[in-house]
Amino acid sequence: MIKNSVVIIGPSPRFLSGISYYTLRLSNALADHNKVTSILFRHMLPQRLFPGWKRVGTDLTSLKFSETIKLRDILDWYNPATWIKASNEFRNADVIILEWWTSSVAHMYLALLLLNHTKKPVMIEFHEVVDPLEFSVGPIRVYARVMGRLIRRMACRYVVHSEHDRQLIASHYRIPEYKIGVIPHGLYDQYPVLDQENSKRSLMAEDFFVFLFFGLIRPYKGVIHLIHAFEMLPDTVRDHSLLYIVGEAWEDHASLDAVSRSPAKDRIRLLNKYVSDDEIPLYFSAADALVLPYTRASQSGVAHIGISYGLPIIASQVGGLSESLSGYDGSTLVQSGDENELAHAMEHTYSLGFRRYPVPVDLRWDSIATKYDAEISSMLNRVRT
């Protein structure tokens, strides 16, 4: 039975990232019981300002939107005519969902909300308060705060992925906590699990325990702490292990330099590149443990890939990340920046050998969709009364 007509606004796979994946997966999950229209960004920042600009617009994923979804890939960062065109899709909607992760789209969201002439109820899903790079630039930080507060006044309901983020968003944007719902981040379980022995052979990692860091290499990801912790492992562990650091470096030159200077560099494999969907299963299938030594985080899409593979995950106890991993039996949490504790956790994980853990049921997309349907129904009931 179709419940509601839902419009979801977020980035398209043209800008492949955790948020574009999330927009796609949430759209598909809600489309099982709702009439879904997905309005996507066709062009965002001036392309040259996007660190991964060379791959923008290329077909990087085989994951597709459900055929039942009305797909509108029309929003342009710089073109108000496309904002007006997008707002025409609001007329038959029961609810509008905005995916928020960066203030670079704030002017578009504000315009779309002002164009919501029929006053359809709006829900904002926060993936970040302020992007780490934006937060480091004073004027952008102020702009993000001001625009965020303007936009949030036009919403009826808000969604975050953890209690930590609920409190953070409430404080940052002065939103009453009772207006913020908590729904876990769904799994990125679209990747096949390959044979580990064959995967290791492909990476020339046979007979080694593989520690994996995966994702964009940015200063707040704590890769430099991981390198130092790996160096601190006992010889009996390090000599039988490999540390794979796989991902595209944005700003983090210190970690790249640390690899080249490391006394353990013969056991470190740095792949400084964008990794396509086709390659992801190889690294996660070969891995024995996933390590996420972040110094700050709201959530991690990479963690949700690791969970779908049943991998042991060693992660920093920061933000909403530790909360999202608390229900996963394979997680080990350490203090952010504590290289000794991180090294001990890696040594302990090594000592356990090959392990795989069950996937929590509440992180599957059918469970996420059920929670979202409940939030939407509750919000609509309040609006209608």
Chunked in runs of 10, what are the mean pLDDT values of the chain (385 residues)?
88 77 94 95 64 54 89 90 94 94 83 92 86 61 75 88 89 89 93 96 96 93 96 97 94 91 96 89 98 86 94 93 90 96 98 94 95 94 79
Residue 58 lies in a domain: yes
- Contact, 96 vs 7, CB < 8 A? yes
d(CA 308, CA 152): 33
Residue 123 lies in a domain: yes
Q: Which of 158, 159, 185, 237 is nearest to 368 (CA)?
A: 185
Which pLDDT score, from 0 to 100, does residue 45 have? Answer: 60
Range of the domain at 223: 196-361
- Inter-axis angle of helices 138-152 and 106-114, nearest 10: 20
Same domain membership, residue 371 and residue 243: no
Residue 332 lies in a domain: yes
Threshold 0.75, pTM exceeds: yes
Same domain membership, residue 211 and residue 162: no
Q: Looking at the 3D structure of the chain, how many domains does it have?
A: 2
Q: Which of 204, 249, 192 is nearest to 224 (CA)?
A: 249
- Give the containing element (helix H, strand E) for 258: helix 253-261
Which pLDDT score, from 0 to 100, does residue 48 have? Answer: 53
Same domain membership, residue 345 and residue 222: yes
Q: What is the CA radius of gyration of the chain?
A: 21
d(CA 254, CA 252): 5
Q: Which of 1, 13, 10 is nearest to 37 (CA)?
A: 10
Tokens read off for 274: 């964008």
Tokens read off for 351: 């000592």
Same domain membership, residue 204 and residue 134: no
Residue 191 lies in a domain: no
Same domain membership, residue 333 and residue 209: yes
Give residue 121's identity as a one-letter amino acid code. Answer: P
Which pLDDT score, from 0 to 100, does residue 152 have? Answer: 76
Same domain membership, residue 211 and residue 134: no
d(CA 369, CA 156): 19
End-to-end CA distance of the chain: give it in Å, rounded: 23
Same domain membership, residue 259 and residue 350: yes
Which pLDDT score, from 0 to 100, does residue 144 have? Answer: 72
Which pLDDT score, from 0 to 100, does residue 138 have? Answer: 61
d(CA 124, CA 112): 13
Residue 291 lies in a domain: yes
Same domain membership, residue 160 and residue 38: yes
Same domain membership, residue 281 and residue 260: yes
Domain of 32, CATH number, reads 3.40.50.2000
Same domain membership, residue 126 and residue 208: no
Strand, coil or helix: what is 313?
strand
Q: Which of 175, 176, 267 is nearest to 229 (CA)?
A: 267
Same domain membership, residue 207 and residue 232: yes
d(CA 69, CA 34): 9
Residue 248 lies in a domain: yes
Residue 304 lies in a domain: yes
Same domain membership, residue 166 and residue 60: yes
